[in-house]
């Protein structure tokens, strides 16, 4: 990382968890990990950390490699399929660690399933120390349990890390009344309550993740990761997004 003194000023959220879908790592490919795309995300994270001094942890899905639900639909026992999905998230975490380290960002991967030869086990207090030291912590293997999603894993880690917000990077810059790619009249919401999302089944994240964010009063910020500088903008309270919170 370049020698830039973090200003810490104008910072809306001091510590955040960024959730990225596995599919986002595919870039324009149909499957797998596109390293130039990982490097682009890594640069966004690096710029945001350097400029603001924010503490960032990451959860990445696994759908670019294997989806537990799809495996189960295909006749595989659900727990087995979910274990495979969790291993996919570990591959993505290692790829992002590599991308971040390529540009000089100190990174630690902690996994919810022990895989001591390749990454640290999840130890909450240790993860907090890593973040306090300016390291980006990537949480892999979801919650470490089947029948949960990486959204729920992200919500759980955001709560455990006492994050000020969970940022969900998506294809579009917020939550819309309809799919903006299909409906030109779709409108973007600036703000929604947790209850709006749950009652209207808006599918921002699965219901258990939204409920946990409501119970712990952590806002969810939905924004587009595709625009350069978007993460920095969100951290400083700018840019387009939908904020989901209580009030």
Torsions phi, psi for 169 (to 5 deg) = -80, 125
Q: Determine the interface stretch with ligand GTP among 12-20, 115-123, 162-170, 187-195 (rule: CB under 6 A).
A: 115-123
Classified as helix, coil or strand, 216 is helix
Of 120, 160, 196, 206, the residue at the interface with ligand GTP (CB under 6 A) is 120
Nearest approach, Cβ of 155 to ligand GTP (angstroms)? 24
3-state DSSP percent of the chain in helix, strand and coil, to 5: 40, 20, 45
CB of 119 to ligand GTP, least distance (A): 5
| Residue of closest CB approach to ligand GTP | 120
In angstroms, give the least distance from the CB of 87 to ligand GTP.
15
108 binds ligand GTP (CB under 6 A): yes
Contact call for residue 196 and ligand GTP (CB under 6 A): no
State the minimum distance, in angstroms, from the CB of residue 133 to ligand GTP. 6
In sequence order, which residues have a C-beta less than 8 Å from that of residue 100 and are 6 or more positions away? 42, 45, 46, 107, 136
The strand pairing partners of 244, in sequence order, are 192, 220
Q: Which stretch binds ligand GTP (CB under 6 A): 118-126, 136-144, 164-172, 230-238?
A: 118-126
> Quick one: how many helices (H) and strands (E) in the chain?
8, 11
**Is residue 98 involved in binding ligand GTP (CB under 6 A)?**
no
Q: How far apart are CA 217 and CA 232, in angstroms?
A: 23
Nearest Cα to Cα of residue 57 among 149, 148, 126, 144? 126
Q: Kindly report the number of other CB atoms within 10 A of residue 102's CB atom.
A: 13
- The least CB distance from residue 23 to ligand GTP, in Å, is 27
Which range of residues in 29-37, 88-96, 117-125, 139-147 is near ligand GTP by CB under 6 A?
117-125
| Residue span binding ligand GTP (CB under 6 A) among the ranges 110-118, 147-155, 192-200, 211-219 | 110-118
- Interface with ligand GTP by CB under 6 A: which range of 17-25, 76-84, 112-120, 177-185? 112-120
Residue 148: partners with Cβ closer than 8 Å, 6 or more residues away: 82, 142, 208
User: Of these, 94, 95, 96, 119, which contacts ligand GTP (CB under 6 A)?
Assistant: 119
User: What is the rounded distance in angstroms from the CA atom of residue 166 to the CA atom of residue 220?
Assistant: 5
Q: Which residues 121-140 are close enough to bind ligand GTP by CB under 6 A?
A: 121, 133
Q: How many residues of this chain interact with ligand GTP, rule: CB under 6 A?
A: 8
Contact flag: residue 69 with ligand GTP (CB under 6 A):
no
| 150-160 helix and 207-216 helix, angle to the nearest 10 degrees | 10
Rounded to a whole number of angstroms, the CA Rg of the chain reads 17
The binding site for ligand GTP (CB under 6 A) comprises: 108, 116-121, 133
């Amino acid at each position: 990382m370049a020698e830039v003194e973090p200003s810490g000023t104008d910072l809306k959220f001091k510590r955040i968890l960024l959730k990225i879908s596995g599919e986002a790592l595919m870039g324009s490919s149909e499957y797998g990990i596109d390293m130039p795309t990982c490097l682009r995300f890594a640069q966004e994270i690096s710029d945001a950390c350097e400029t603001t001094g924010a503490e960032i942890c990451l959860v990445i899905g696994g759908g670019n490699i294997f989806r537990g639900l799809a495996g189960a639909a295909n006749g595989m026992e659900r727990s087995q399929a979910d274990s495979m999905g969790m291993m996919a998230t570990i591959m993505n975490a290692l790829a992002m660690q590599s991308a971040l380290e390529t540009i000089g960002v100190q990174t630690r991967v902690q996994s919810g399933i022990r895989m001591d030869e390749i990454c640290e086990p999840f130890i909450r207090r240790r993860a907090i120390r890593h973040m306090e030291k300016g390291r980006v912590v990537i949480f892999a293997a979801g919650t470490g349990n089947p029948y949960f999603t990486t959204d729920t894993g992200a919500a759980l880690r955001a709560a455990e890390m006492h994050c000020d917000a969970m940022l969900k990077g998506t294809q579009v810059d917020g939550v819309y009344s309809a799919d903006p790619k299909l409906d030109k009249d779709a409108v973007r919401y600036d703000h929604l309550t947790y209850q709006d999302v749950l009652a209207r089944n808006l599918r921002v994240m699965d219901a258990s993740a939204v409920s946990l964010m409501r119970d712990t009063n952590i806002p969810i910020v939905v924004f587009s990761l595709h625009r350069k500088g978007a993460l920095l903008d969100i951290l400083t309270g700018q840019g387009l997004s939908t904020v989901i919170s209580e009030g």
